[in-house]
Structure 1
Amino acid sequence: MTTVRPTACSAISSASRVEILHLVQQRARRTLAELTDATGLHANTVREHVQRLIDDGYMVAEPERRTTRGRPRVLYSAATDTPSDVQARRVAAAAERGDLMRRVLPATSPTHLDTDALHQIDAIVEDLMDAGFDPIVDEDELTIDLTPCAHAAAQAEHRELLCRVHLGLMQGVLDAAGGPLSVDGMRSSCDPEQCVVQLMLAERATKVASDQPAA
């Protein structure tokens, strides 16, 4: 029986934080005032959400570069645009733990994935577990099954936005880990709690791009 981890402590367990992540994924280098206006939340509330997202490695902050006098504003971006130090440390630690596990418990069947791709899988699995999911990876099909979705019931009215944001977060983790895998999308399903994410190798991504008709 599949168990669902509690999501209360996850950075994406809050609909407001999901909305903030969506805003910075859409456009980088946003100010606190812009995020406050866009969400309609109090500035102090936005500041707390932003700090939580920074602490968890999902967002980064940088001072504005000014050519005039005055205190520079702080600009916020998604870690998918500018990888965070927190994310880099987590990716490296996940790869070390994954390598150790593979040495201690050798796979019963050979994998077609190279070391870089395996490290990407290590990183994304740990990130998903921290977010409250119980991921099941199929290395042959390049899928990650997150069913039942740990957030579907709690944030049913925000599911579409949550899925878009989380796919972006997953891509950010894969990019931070470095390797041939990327997010292809989510497999369609009539079951609102079913969630299977499709990955693809760089070679396939290149072929898909080459198959597109010229503009």
Structure 2
Amino acid sequence: MRRRDATRHPRRTLLSRPRLLLLDRLLRDSPQTAPQLADSVHLHHNTVREHLDRLVDDGLVVRETEHRTQRGRPHVLFSAAAGGVGLSASAAAQTRRALALGEAYRHAYGFPDPADEADGTAQIDVLEDYLDRRGFRPRVDRDALAVRLACPFGELQGSMEQHTICGVDAAVMRSVLGRVDGPLRVMDVRSDGAGTCVLRLIRGAEASAPSCPGCPPDPRTSSAG
């Protein structure tokens, strides 16, 4: 029987300093090639490609081939994922499973299905499932549009700046929330002490840039005007 590689567990995807650094670079400047990223984080190209493969598989990074109008081999470009555009097959499948689980839960416990997408139920289903699988142990208050989280990054806090971890964290949550249609956006992620934080959501018409230092702006709300 083949032993499962523990490093492939979904919880390990973000619990990696190199992968967080790569995400941080891509959130600030996309697209980039693997060699460009390798130079910026001072790692071997092959190592960076392995990390990028993991991030693509998890739906946090999108891979595409450069469109060239001149002769020569096109570059493979990597960008930070923004919602459901260009998701890997595995990330898209997990999103569908999360939606199905949310629907099954409501049916099992007699909760009504949402009348339409306007209440953000599907978005929270997908976000809660993602956070649970990644070790955040989310506790969702759907009425208050808030999610209390346990921080899984304790082992990295001595080797990375806190605002980098929190900035990537918030950007990932924005992207996951945008995998399905709905009105909800990330407002901010605030530390609540003792290794916990609170993710606050807001409806799109009221959304603004996240307040956490180092958080890249949400392209869906920062491009207007």
TM-score scaled by structure 2? 0.79
Give the 3-state SS of the residue equivalent to 2:155 in structure 1. Answer: coil
> Which residue of 2 is the match for residue 3 of structure 1?
none
The superposition leaves residues 86-118 of structure 1 with CA deviations (integer Å, 9 ceiling, x where unpaired) of 3333222211110111000124xx89x765311
Show the counterpart of 1:175. 178
Task: Decide which moves more: 178-187 or 89-98.
Answer: 89-98
| CA shift digits 1:129-163 (9 cap, x unpaired) | 1211110000111111003x121x21113232111
Structure 1 102/115 Cα, relative in aligned 2: closer, same or farther at 3 Å?
A: farther
Picking from 158, 161, 166, the partner of 2:164 is: 161
CA contact (8 A) 1:25 1:80 kept: no
Kindly report the root-mean-square deviation, in angstroms, between the aligned alpha carbons of the 2 structures.
2.4
* Greater RCO, 1 or 2 (C-alpha within 8 Å, sep 6+): 1
What CA distance in whole angstroms lies between the structure 1 residues aligned with 2:137 and 2:52? 26
Runs of 4+ off more than 4 Å: none
- What is aligned with 2:23? 21
Conserved in 2, the CA contact under 8 Å of 1:83 and 1:176?
A: no
Matched residue, 2:125: 122
- Return the alpha-carbon distance in structure 1 between the equivalents of residues 138 and 205 of structure 2: 24
Task: Describe the shift of the 1:114–1:163 C-alpha distance in structure 2 as closer, same or farther (beyond 3 A).
Answer: farther
Give the Cα–Cα distance (whole angstroms) in 2 for the partners of residues 22 and 114 of structure 1: 37
Check conservation: 2:59, 2:81, Cα contact below 8 A: yes
CA distance 1:128–1:22, shift in 2 (3 Å)? same
Aligned to 2:92: 88
Give the distance between the partners of 1:114 and 1:197, measured in 2 at CA.
25
Report the 3-state secondary structure (helix = DSSP H, G, I; strand = E; otherwise coil) of the residue aligned with 2:179.
helix
1:51-74 superposed Cα distances (whole Å, 9 cap, x missing partner): 111111111111111111111110
Deviation, structure 1 residue 188:
4.5
- Give me the whole-angstrom Cα distance separating, in 1, the residues matched to 2:36 and 2:195: 33
Identity across the alignment (%): 34
**Which is further off, 85-94 or 154-163?**
85-94
Shift of 1:192: 5.5
CA distance in 2, matches of 1:198, 1:192: 18
The residue that corresponds to 2:74 in the other structure is 72
Give structure 1 stretches of 5+ with no counterpart.
Answer: 1-5, 207-214
Q: TM-score, normalised by structure 1?
A: 0.83
CA separation of 1:126 and 1:196: change in aligned 2, threshold 3 A: same
Q: How does 1:114-153 map to 2 (within 5 A)?
A: 115-116=116-117, 117-147=120-150, 149-151=151-153, 153=154
